[in-house]
Structure 1
Amino acid sequence: MDRPLRDALATQYGVPAESIREAPGGVANRAYALGNDLFVRIPRTPAFDQDLIKESTVIPVARAAGVRTPGIVAFDTTRALIDAPYMVLERVHGTDLVDTDEPSPAFWQEVGSQLALLHQVEQPPTGVHPDNGGGDPRPTVDQLATAGYLDPGTANWLLACFDHLTGLIPDNLPPVLLHGDLAQQNLMTHDNHLQALIDWGDAAWGPPGMEFAKLRLDHVLPVLRNYPHHEGLEASILWFHLSWGISGLAKPPQPGQRHWTAPPPSRLLGVLRFYASSPPTPWRELLSQKAQY
């Protein structure tokens, strides 16, 4: 942050200029601690302005539902201080999971309780649009096979898997309010307790199973212990892990990213790792011999 902007923020929010420190940010925003109690997020480019505007409507709704997320102190779109919209939030005193040891199952159960509250919201907030997670992955499987990323036998097996999983997912599942980026960098912890869910720029109105697509499947297991079960939930979660894993297979590497899904093969290797651990029912049956070609 340049000195004039730092000094302007310090004056505006009554904190010492030397207390403003950059924090690890995401793809969309630069992030800075403003002293001990405040935190500011500024879009990296104008392409991300709408995501921050969306957050300004989602955060109050999530908090009203009982979700642990920092409250908004100020949301400024005037561009008088910064040539971008920016948001000042209450500061969470904790660390994200990228920089901590593996939490216990109790932590993940807390995440499940928070998702249960969020997914009870009955109407999408302003600016939150429907999202089905990318649609049918089977054309992508065909394209990857044609391009040589998949051999024909594996492609046929994947198509059979998607057919099998689709048959297990009810057609009439109501959409829910999704955090949309439930990943390690957006889960704040302290003393093995969930402090907050942060970064709501990817919030969407979509299928419940899509919410779990950015968590490792071995973490999904304890999350679901405190999450209301419904028919086809595990099949839907696995469907998204496979679908998004396939869609990212031909993408170039992204070195330096903090999220575990950045390397192109990570999702598919995550599924392999999960199934190598002999997961419990009903997971182990989802990729059973029922998925034949």
Structure 2
Amino acid sequence: MAHPAELPTVRLTSNRFWGGDFHFSIFTVRHTPESHPFQYCRNFWKIIYVLSGCGAEVIDGVGYALRPDTLFVIHPDDVTRFELAGDSEIEICNILFLPELIAFGAPFLADYPDFMRIFDPARKPEVGREQRERLYIQKADQSIAALVRAMLREFNQAQANYRSVIRLQLLELLCRIARQSDRKIRRSRGRAVAEQAADFLREHHSEPFEPAALAARFGVSRQYLHRVFSRTYGMSLGDALRDCRLTAAYRQLLEHPERTVSEVCYGCGFNDLSYFYRLFRARYGCAPGRLRG
């Protein structure tokens, strides 16, 4: 296979996939390492949903893992290609459409403006890393998986009024993608806040601790900070701070024999010597003074 930089870029046009005024198509395709010696861009939107197999979708030079139930919304100007290892195969359901197909539903999508504004062609230069993450769902939930399969059946059977049904299904699909994407972004932001809080505790463990001030430092509420920290680390902020202080005390007792136990205790942020003794013994199985032999 040619080096990615040497692959020709082919621009796919919508008239290859549909004719007339119904700007939509859905079909399954199986890819192998030799299937496509090109990279592609297009003049329509594309949603890929992985039915089976594993690989990667490379979008504008950045690779994203693909596995069953992975879903990706691809911008028309994105330059894409598949990467598959060895003799592996991957089966994809492709959903192709133009935004005009769902223009009637714009008022119903107001709850997710950050997601839906990507369908404005003038905003392509603004599709950054976070926006790209909104378009990538590593494992779609069951409601999305069921809806994709229902759309495939509806399109293939082409019963009366199937176009109207497809338009409604596509609108629902985008709503469900936006909903799951929004949950993912919130979790990602929460994890980032929790990690910053953990770094702060490690660096400032010896200082007085005020949860409200720490929350204000990151621009979130105290309740939100407690919730995301507990979800990320499985412990409270207070427990994490005690761990940081105990770890620092253990290290100082070994590295600074000239310091008394009291100096280490108060220097690491504890304000009660007997409390420090109890915590230290529970954590390390001996009194602080015994650590030095």
**What range describes the TM-score normalised by the shorter chain of this pair?**
under 0.3
Larger RCO (alpha carbons 8 Å, 6+ apart): 1
Tell me the TM-score normalised to structure 2 length: 0.24
Radius of gyration: which is bigger?
2
Tell me the TM-score normalised to structure 1 length: 0.24
